[in-house]
Amino acid sequence: MKLCICGLGYIGLPTAAMFARNGVSVHGVEINQHAIDTINQGKIHIVEPGLGEVVHKAVSDGLLVAANQPCEADAFIICVPTPFTGDNHEPDLSFVDAATGEIAPFIRKGNTVILESTSPVGTTERVAEILQKNCPDLKIAREDSEYCDVYVAYCPERVLPGKIMSELVDNDRIVGGINQVSARKAADIYGIFVKGELLLTNARTGEMSKLTENAFRDVNIAFANELSLICDRLHIDVWELISLANHHPRVNILNPGPGVGGHCIAVDPWFIVSKTPDLARIIETARKVNDHKPEWVKEQVREAVAGSARKDSLIACLGLAFKPDIDDLRESPAVRIARDLAREFPGRVIAAEPHIAELPAVLSKSGVRLTDIAEALKADVVLLLVDHREFRAIKPEFAPEQTLIDTRGLWKS
């Protein structure tokens, strides 16, 4: 069995490593030369617990090779990014289109092509159409027929960053075929390493299920974030409120925070909204509520600074990652908040982030200074943005002239 995986990022590389660990020969395709060189040395260019060892072994066993071009294989998996563009949050499918065009010359009768990238409904059909155009002599899978030379399916990942290596194996997995035979072929491939249940459906339902899972979480976080604003105005402790309400056997409210970060939850719901803008009203509102939360946090800081006895009061941001106990700063509301505050209050913003050794350029250029927890806790305004275990482990005492803004309800005020 030989696999060609396009895109060796946060999902493609762990997937490639997992197949290789199970004896499959994997040819990974990347546009980033640094990633190619790093992987071919048996190392990794991303941070994910447990991934490095598996990649190292796969490369030294000769089962994983990275390159900048695809090759012939039994199956092709597309794991490229699907960002959104512009003010209307339209999905940008250019990476999917490009990857499909690149594999087309290598497609042969009997191959299976799987799209894993989070995609708007209809994208797998689009992949099949591009393949059909590029491979006129082959019968590419179609919805209305079970007879085809090339099988095409959608199979989203649902792994949690930080737990990818175990969740890839143990999570149940949705496999949506363009036709039923395609779903079965794709399920056979994932069956090589997935221990969770493989749930077969059609491609459109598979695409929508991935978007639905993340939109569900986004809507629920938005509910918590909205409650935090309401409670602030009504002088109610939102954390106490949520913990009380969650004693109800059928209520389970999530946690408010400084906003929603990461590549998935803040992006995927827009793929539903852009397809059906007149219908996806709660989903769109939830996105806006969550995107507004960092603005509200900054307003709280402005008020604290205005109320501070010191003219040049120092603001400390505790935590920069997009969620607790990881070092991933991508699409982090904490980073955006620190950056904006540094621009507004030049030279007065410091940040403590135990998971990084140096600040990302966006923050150092804005004049943020990286510090340790002890110094951060002495600032005039202490802004807790991420509930890392290093912060959870302490219960600091603040002087009366200090202001604590605790967006995670860790120490409260």
Please list the active-site residues.
210, 264
- Please report whether residue 221 would count as binding ligand SAJ according to CB under 6 A: yes
Using DSSP's 3-state secondary structure scheme, residue 144 falls into coil
| Residue found under tokens 């639905």 | 212
CB environment 191-220: b (16+ within 10 A), e (fewer): eebbeeebebbbbbebbbbbbebbbebbbe
Q: How many residues bind ligand SAJ (CB under 6 A)?
A: 20
Using CB under 6 A as the binding rule, the residues of this chain from 66 to 95 that contact ligand SAJ are none
Q: Which stretch binds ligand SAJ (CB under 6 A): 97-105, 260-268, 273-281, 344-352?
A: 260-268
- Please report whether residue 319 would count as binding ligand SAJ according to CB under 6 A: no
Q: Which stretch binds ligand SAJ (CB under 6 A): 123-131, 135-143, 261-269, 346-354?
A: 261-269
Q: Which stretch binds ligand SAJ (CB under 6 A): 85-93, 119-127, 194-202, 250-258?
A: 250-258
Which is nearer to ligand SAJ, 158 or 302 (by Cβ)?
Answer: 158
Binding flags for ligand SAJ, 33-52, as an x/- string (CB under 6 A): --------------------
| Residue found under tokens 């090759």 | 71
Q: Which two tokens stand for residue 331?
A: 């699409």
Which is nearer to ligand SAJ, 32 or 212 (by Cβ)?
Answer: 212
- Please report whether residue 262 would count as binding ligand SAJ according to CB under 6 A: yes
Other beta carbons less than 10 A from residue 67's beta carbon: 14
- Tell me how far apart the alpha carbons of residues 338 and 262 are, in angstroms, rounded to a whole number: 16
| Phi, psi angle pair for 113, to nearest 5° | -115, 125
Q: Which two tokens stand for residue 373?
A: 């927890």
Which run of H or E residues covers position 350? strand 349-352
Could you say which of 56, 217, 275, 302 contacts ligand SAJ (CB under 6 A)? Answer: 217
- Please report whether residue 291 would count as binding ligand SAJ according to CB under 6 A: no
Smallest gap from Cβ 166 to ligand SAJ, in A, equals 12
| Residue found under tokens 């598979």 | 206
- Please report whether residue 120 would count as binding ligand SAJ according to CB under 6 A: no
Gyration radius from the chain CA atoms = 24
Q: Which two tokens stand for residue 10?
A: 């946060």
Within 90-201, residue ranges assigned H as helices are: 94-103, 123-134, 164-170, 180-190
| Residue found under tokens 């060189």 | 37
Which is nearer to ligand SAJ, 107 or 318 (by Cβ)?
Answer: 318
Smallest gap from Cβ 236 to ligand SAJ, in A, equals 19
Smallest gap from Cβ 326 to ligand SAJ, in A, equals 8
- Please report whether residue 255 would count as binding ligand SAJ according to CB under 6 A: yes
Could you say which of 19, 322, 345, 411 contacts ligand SAJ (CB under 6 A)? Answer: 322
Which is nearer to ligand SAJ, 323 or 348 (by Cβ)?
Answer: 323
Cβ atoms of 188 and 181 within 8 Å: the answer is no
Cβ atoms of 395 and 373 within 8 Å: the answer is no
- Please report whether residue 265 would count as binding ligand SAJ according to CB under 6 A: yes
Which is nearer to ligand SAJ, 3 or 267 (by Cβ)?
Answer: 267
Of the candidates 317, 305, 293, the residue with the CA atom closest to the CA atom of residue 226:
293
Could you say which of 71, 160, 374, 394 contacts ligand SAJ (CB under 6 A)? Answer: 160
- Please report whether residue 359 would count as binding ligand SAJ according to CB under 6 A: no
Strands 84-85, 90-91: pairing kind: antiparallel
Contact positions vs ligand SAJ (CB under 6 A): 118, 157-161, 213-214, 217, 221, 254-255, 257, 260-262, 264-265, 322-323
